[in-house]
Structure 1
Amino acid sequence: MERFEQLYRDWKKEAKKLTTDLDLLPLEALIEVFERVNVEQEKTDDVRKAVSMLVLEETTTLPPNHQPTPDAVSLFIGYLATKLVKDGANVLELGSGTGTLVHAVLTQLKDATAQAVEVDETMLRLSYAISNLLGKPVSYFHQDALAPLFVEPSDLALVDLPIGYYPNDDMASGYALKRDEGHSYSHFLLIEQAMRHLKPGGHGIFVIPNNLFEQDDEGKLKQWMDREAVVKGVLQLPTTMFKDERYAKSLLMLQKLGEGVKRPKQALLVELPSFTDVRAVANIVKQIDDWFKTT
C-alpha cells in the first residue's frame, strides 16, 4: 500500500469517528482532522493526494458547480502554469471552493503565493486547513467573487467557472460582459473579473464549457477578448471525463494585454487524451512543450 493510501484510510477513519462523536457534517469533520494531524514527516505529494481523495469522496453529492476540480485536471493546469509564469508568482483563484485547484498549482510553482476568494464559509475553512497542512501560503477572502475585490494584482488567475446566471443585476451592471436584458452569465463575468486583477501581461487559465463561445449571442465576449486579452490556447479535456458530452469542458488560456504582449501566430488548440493513457499524455505534453518553445 502506498503512503498516501494509508493516510487516506487513517484520516477517513478519524473523520468518520468525529461525525459520530461530535455530530459534525462530513466536511466539518474533515476540517477537524486536517487541523489536528501532524504531517511534518510526510511527503507533500502524499498529503495532497490523500486530501484530494477525501475531499472528492465527500463532495460527490454536491451540485456540479460546487464540486472540486478533478485532481488530474488540477495537476495538468499546474503544468500549464509552470509554462506561463515564473518562480515566485502570485496566483489568484476566484470561487476557490475546497482549494483543490490552487493547491495543485502551488505544489508545482516554486516559491509561489496565492490569494483565494470563496463565498461559502465551510469550503473556505476547509481550504484554509488544507493550505496549512500542505504548508502553502494562501491569503483567503470570504466574499462573493464578483463583488469588488481588494486583492493584490496577480501573475496568474485561475477559475473553474460555475455555469449559470448571476442574480445580482446591480453588481453585474459594472461589467462590460453584462447582458443587455435579464440576468448575466456568472461565468462570463468571472472571466472579466479575473482578468481585471492581473498585472499587465498576466495569464488566466479557465475551465470553460465547450459551448462557451456559442453562448456569446450578444457578441460581447468576443469583442471584450479582442480588446483586453490574447487567446493563447484552448485545450479540450478528455470527453471520457464526462457522462454527457453536452457538459464537456475545455481549458482556456488568456493573456492580459500589456507592453510586449504579442498575439501568437497560431493559438494552442489541442484535444487532450484520457489522462490514464500515459503514452498519449506524454506525446501531447511534448507537443505543448514544443509550442511554448516556439511561441
Structure 2
Amino acid sequence: MERFEQLYRDWKQDVKKLVADLDVLPLEALIEVLERVDVASEDMDDVRKAVSLLVLEETTTLPPNHQPTPDAVSLFIGYLATKLVEDKATLLELGSGTGTLVHAVLSQLNEATAQAVEVDETMLRLSYAISNLLEKPVSYFHQDALEPLFVEPANLTLVDLPIGYYPNDEVAKTYDLHRTDGHAYAHFLMMEQAMRHTVPGGHGLFVIPNNLFEQDDEGKLKQWMDREAVVKGVLQLPTTMFKDERYAKSLLLLQKLGEGVKRPKQALLVELPSFTDVRAVANIVKQIDDWFKTT
C-alpha cells in the first residue's frame, strides 16, 4: 500500500469517528481532522493525494457546481500552467471551492503564490485548512466572485466554470457579457471577471462545457473574446470521464491582449485520451510540448 493510501484510510476513520461522536456533517469533520493532523514527516505530494481522495469522497452528493475538479484534470491543468508561467507567478482562482485545482497547480510551480475567491464559507474553510496543511501561500477572499474584487492582477487565472444563470441582474449589468433579456450566464460572467483580473499578456485557463459557444445566442461571447483575448487552445477532456456526453467538458486557454501578444498560426486543438492510458497521455504531452516550443 502506498503511503497516501494509508494516510487516506487513517484520516477517513478519524472523519467517521467525529461524525458519529459529534453529529456533525462530514465536511465539517474533515476540516476538523485536517486542522489537527501532523504531517511534518510526510511527503507533501502524498498528503495532497490523500486529501484529494477524501475531498472527492465527501463531496459526491453535492450539486455539480460544488463538486471539486477531478484530481487528474487539476494535475493536467498544473502541467499546462508550467508551460504558461514562470515559477514565481501569481495565480487567481475564482469560485475556488475546496481548492483542489489551485493546490494541484501550486504543487507544480516553485514559489508561486495564489489568491482564491469563494462564496461558500464551509468550502473556504476546507480549502484554507488544506493550504495550511500543504504549506501553500494562498490568500482567501470570502465573497461572491462576480462582485467587485480587490485582488492583485494575476499572471494566470483559473476557473472551473459554474454552469447556470446568475440571479443578481444589477451586478450582471456591469459586465459586457450580460444578457439583453433575462438572467446572464454565470459561466460567461466568470470568464470576463477572470480576464479583468489578469495582467496584459497573462493567461486564463477555464474548464468549460463543450457546448459553451453554442450557448452564445446573442453573439456577445465571440465579440468579447475577439476584443479582449486570443484563443490559444481548446483541449477536450476524455469523454470516458462523463456518464453523459451531453455534460462533457474541455479546457479553454485564453491569453489576454497586450504588447507583443499575437494570435497563433494554429491553435492547440486536442482530444485528450483517458488519463489512465499512460502511453497515449505521454504521446499527447509530447505533441503539446512541441506546440509550445514552436508557438
Unaligned runs of 5+ in 1: none
Deviation per CA, 1:205-258: give whole Å up to 9, x if none: 000000000000110000000000000000000000000000000000000001
Corresponding residue of 2:65 = 65
Q: 1:165 maps to which residue?
A: 165
What is the CA distance between 1:200 and its match in structure 2? Answer: 0.6
Q: Does 1:276 align with 2:276?
A: yes
CA distance in 1, matches of 2:205, 2:40: 32
In structure 2, the residue matched to 1:82 is 82
Q: Percent identity?
A: 86
Which residues in structure 2 correspond to 1:20-35 (within 5 Å)?
20-35=20-35
Q: CA deviation at 1:51?
A: 0.1
Look up the match of 2:99: 99
Cα deviation digits, residues 80-120 of structure 1 (max 9, x gap): 00000011001000000000000000000110000000000
- What secondary structure sits across from 2:40 in the alignment? coil
Please show how residues 73-152 of structure 1 align to structure 2 within 5 Å. Answer: 73-152=73-152
CA distance in 2, matches of 1:44, 1:288: 28
Instruction: Give the CA deviation at 1:145.
Output: 0.3
Deviation of residue 21 (structure 1)? 1.6
Instruction: Please tell me whether residue 3 in structure 1 is matched to residue 3 in structure 2.
Output: yes
CA shift, 1:268, in A, is 0.1
Corresponding residue number in structure 2 for 1:187: 187
Q: Which runs of 4+ in 1 moved over 3 A?
A: none
- Report how far residue 131 of structure 1 moved: 0.3
Query: Aligned partners of 1:290, 1:66: CA distance in 2, in Å?
Result: 35
* Other-structure match for 2:14: 14
Q: 1: CA distance between counterparts of 2:260 and 2:59? A: 43
Unpaired segments ≥5 residues, structure 2 = none
1:51 aligns with 2:51: yes
Aligned to 1:205, what secondary structure does the other structure show? Answer: strand
Aligned residues: 295
- What is the alpha-carbon distance in structure 1 between the residues aligned to residue 69 and residue 87 of structure 2? 24
Aligned residue in 2 for 1:257:
257
- 1:6-62 CA distance string (max 9 Å, x none): 000000001111112222110000000000001011111100000000000000011
Correspondence for 2:235:
235
Amino acid at match of 1:260: G
Residue aligned with 1:149, SS: coil
What's the secondary structure of 2:115's corresponding residue? strand
The aligned amino acid for 1:85 is V
Q: 1:171-201: CA deviations, max 9, x gaps? A: 0000000000100000000000000001111
Q: Secondary structure at the match of 2:77?
A: helix
TM-score (norm 1): 1.00
Structure-2 separation of matches of 1:30 and 1:59: 11
CA root-mean-square deviation? 0.4
| Offset of residue 202 of structure 1 | 0.6
Answer yes or no: is 1:289 the counterpart of 2:289: yes
Give the aligned residue type for 1:21.
Answer: D
SS at match of 1:117: strand
User: Counterpart amino acid of 1:148?
Assistant: P
Distance 2:36 2:218 in 1: 51
Counterpart residue identity of residue 53, structure 2: M
**Partner SS state of residue 96, structure 1:** coil
